[in-house]
Structure 1
Amino acid sequence: MLRKLLSIAAASLMATAASVTPALAADGYTLPGKPSIAMLYYGPKNDGGWTQAFEEARVKIEKELGLKINFVENITEDASVIKPAAERFISRGANIVIGTAFGHSDAFKDLAAKYPKVAFLNASGTTNGPNLESFYGRTYESQYLCGMAAGAVSKSGKLGFVAANPFGVVNWTINAFALGAQKMNPNATVNVIYTGTWNDPVKERAAASALIDQGADVIGQHVDSPTPQIVAQERGVYGTGHHRDLRQFAPKATLCSSVWVWDKFLVTELKKIIAGGWKPEPYGAFIPLKDGGTDIAGFGPAVPADKAKLILAERDALLKGKQIYAGPLADRDGKQRVAAGQVLSDGDLWKMDWFVKGVVTQK
């Protein structure tokens, strides 16, 4: 997904949020009438990745809440597109509007101020307020589990990773993937190629092919298309997916996938809004595995049952509060990044620009 200027915003998200967050009403936000929900999809609902995950969540939310949710596709990161789309729904009675892109952030901030009786939610956003909450999942948790699957299956210990951009939200998945792999094989390494874009199957194919040519026998990814998994299957190696269960595209190759489970979070949050007295998180909701940010889907047939059991045990530990970025933890140059007994702060996660031992980055 194209999230313009993410490198700037992600690096200072926690601090920035404080400067754009109005004081929350003491009694919270309450809908003025019966709930009417609309969603603005960044891309087409069948894109195979980011947007399709929201479409699949919408169907589940409708069933859980017993409410119809209207939606519109291809609402790009342009205020001249976002605002009219949202206002059309509002004019028809929508009082809960859900965005699905980083680039919806500023437009949603303006809309929330203009329509104080409407509740706004926005995925991957950076703006918040009395009737606006941005939300994102702690993807490093599910990518850690996928890394475990990769480390368990790899025969060479050489893993590859196709990444979009060298931003904190991508770097934390790479590091977690490596730490998961090294839990299964302490000598595992991860070679990374950045494509410079969220969705470019041509570049993703070239990157995956290059990593396999360099000896990688498992390919991880944080890009929007399933291309790295498709290439892995074509080349007779394995991979781990991102956004959705990519066994749909590469059933023989995909060991597991880091998947969005937005319905789990949104059902809970929408119930809070509908109940009245909703108090948005002042800096946005940064959702752990236990609350429905991401999870894993799998396993592929290549993951041995005993290894799958170990991975699920780690998943259970994460659900109970285990921290992946807990100290002592050093980067690949030996510099201490997290002291013993400490946990990496959310602010440091968002601006992560360093890598753990065993990660080799290249453009």
Structure 2
Amino acid sequence: MGMKFLMRILTAALALSITAPALATEADEGLTLKGEPRIAMLYISPRNDGGWTQAFDEARLKLEERLGHRIQYVESVPENASSIRPAAERLIQRGANIIIGTAFGYSDTFEDLARRHPEVAFLNGSGTTNSRNLQSFYGRTYESQYLCGMAAAAASKSGRLGFVAANPFGQVNWTVNAFALGAQKINPDATVTVIYTGSWNDPVRERAAAAALIDRGADVIGQHVDSPTPQIVAQERGVFGTGHHRDMSEFAPAATVCSSVWVWDRFLEPELENIFAGGWKPQLDGALLSMAEGGTDIACCGPAVAEEHVSTIMAAREELLQGNKRIYQGPLYDRNGTLKIADGELPSDGELWQMDWFVKGVITQQ
């Protein structure tokens, strides 16, 4: 028994010594596609959802025109392996060698798919997994939401702002805090009351949350949920709002004064060109994109924002686009007065992803 066990270890070690250099060389050389690029996308919701997925679909259309490649897509693929895997496998069987996902919940399945299909390049928006042929990417939405907070405070008469949020995850909490910090740049006494819906896209809950915030005195409604419902409710109730994912003034022109918008084509176009060129090497810690790097931007500003404030907002936007402004540079304290980011310090990306605290003026409610 002992000798057999030892032989198995020696055999495994020998195999590893033979294959490891080959694997290292393959990783060092990067991924080169076999054949012409064939791109496909998996959407978590319908392509005309008015928010997150529609922003990806609009980027798809721009990419088709600029790159000269048709991009297939599959709509409404839920965040579970039993849905993701067959959808991706069918696309690969049909010849797709670049798969772009659009959901946090695709992360683990994409990691497994990338391992099973080393010849295919995988990208995943808002994902958390990365490998030699998989790169996740997301944007520093706190930058554009900071600007939306400035616009919200400029449009508000009361200084009481509401915010409809999806889930209390780090990438949602960082938008809430940034929205509050931006608002307080215009009105130091501004407050932001937050209601979490527990879902990325649930128009019924979003409607209820927006209405509850307005009933409690909010006269501007911000959001980090997928649908434009909070903006529609704001318009129905005669208050203002700030959208997320896309320019939501399309749905509530009288209410929406600013929107945090994705500009995925600015990132995906050069990234896809790198894949086309061969030797593609993903960032193994993922790509967290600033406004300067093609993550987000804003559509601003509605007539409810005075011209003097528009100038201030656009000046801050320009600083962000040039990479000259940091939203979370210390000193920053939480709402209990505890120092969270020391003077002159910047949080790591890991600390941002784990953000579970709120700045002064943020009121969280269920």
Residue among 345, 348, 353 paired with 2:351: 348
For the residues of structure 1 that align with 2:45 and 2:217, how far apart are their CA atoms? 35
Is 1:336 matched up with 2:339? yes
Q: Distance in 2 between matches of 1:84 and 1:213?
A: 45
Aligned partner of 2:177 in structure 1 is 175
Q: State the alpha-carbon separation in 2 of the partners of residues 359 and 312 from structure 1.
A: 24
How far did residue 80 of structure 1 move?
A: 2.0
Structure 1 CA distance, aligned partners of 2:152 and 2:211?
A: 17
CA distance in 2: counterparts of 1:94 and 1:201, whole angstroms: 34
| Corresponding residue to 2:136 among 134, 137, 150 | 134
Q: CA deviation at 1:243?
A: 1.1
Amino acid across the alignment from 2:245: H
Task: Select which of 328, 351, 355 maps to 1:325.
Answer: 328
1:74 corresponds to: 76
User: C-alpha displacement at 1:111, in angstroms?
Assistant: 1.2
**Structure 1, residues 229-287: CA drift from partner, whole Å, max 9, x if none?**
11111111100001111111100100011111111111011011111121101111111
2:81 partner letter: A
Matched residue type, 2:328: Y
Deviation at 1:358, TM superposition (A): 0.7
Q: Structure 1: which 5+ runs fail to align? A: 1-21
1:337 partner letter: K
Q: What is the RMSD of the two structures over their aligned residues, measured on CA atoms?
A: 1.3
Residues 10-57 of structure 1: per-residue CA shift (max 9 Å, x gap): xxxxxxxxxxxx978122221122211111111111111111111111
Q: How far has the Cα of 1:162 moved from its partner?
A: 0.9
Normalised TM-score (structure 2): 0.91
One-letter amino acid of the structure 2 residue matched with residue 300 of structure 1 = G
| Counterpart mapping for 1:84-95 below 5 A | 84-95=86-97
Q: How far did residue 184 of structure 1 move? A: 0.7
Q: Aligned runs of 1:1-363 on 2, under 5 Å?
A: 25-321=27-323, 322-363=325-366
The letter of the residue matching 1:352 is M
TM superposition shift of 1:94: 1.2
SS of residue matched to 1:162? strand
> Following superposition, which runs of at least 4 residues in structure 1 exceed 3 angstroms of deviation?
none
Residues 211-237 of structure 1, C-alpha deviations (whole Å, 9 max, x = no match): 112211111011111111111111111
> Which residue does 1:17 correspond to in 2?
none
Unaligned 5+ segments in structure 2 are 1-22
Count of paired positions? 342
Q: 173-182 or 270-279: which moved more?
A: 270-279
State, as a whole percentage, how many aligned pairs show the same letter. 70
2:151 maps to a residue whose letter is A
More deviation, 72-81/234-243: 72-81
Q: Deviations over 1:304-326 (max 9, x none)?
A: 22211111110111122211000
Q: Distance in 2 between matches of 1:263 and 1:66?
A: 14
Cα distance between partner residues in 1 of 2:63 and 2:108: 26
Q: Offset of 1:208 from its aligned partner?
A: 1.2
Partner Cα distance (2:155, 2:76) in 1: 38
Report how far residue 128 of structure 1 moved.
Answer: 0.8
Larger radius of gyration: 2
Pairwise CA distance, 1:353 = 0.7
Residue 116 of structure 1: how far off its partner (Å)? 0.8
| SS of equivalent residue, structure 1 residue 26 | helix
Tell me, what secondary structure is at the counterpart of 2:129? coil
Q: Which stretch of structure 1 is more off in the superposition, 295-304 or 147-156?
A: 295-304
SS at match of 1:117: coil
SS at match of 1:225: coil
Partner-residue secondary structure (3-state), 2:233: helix
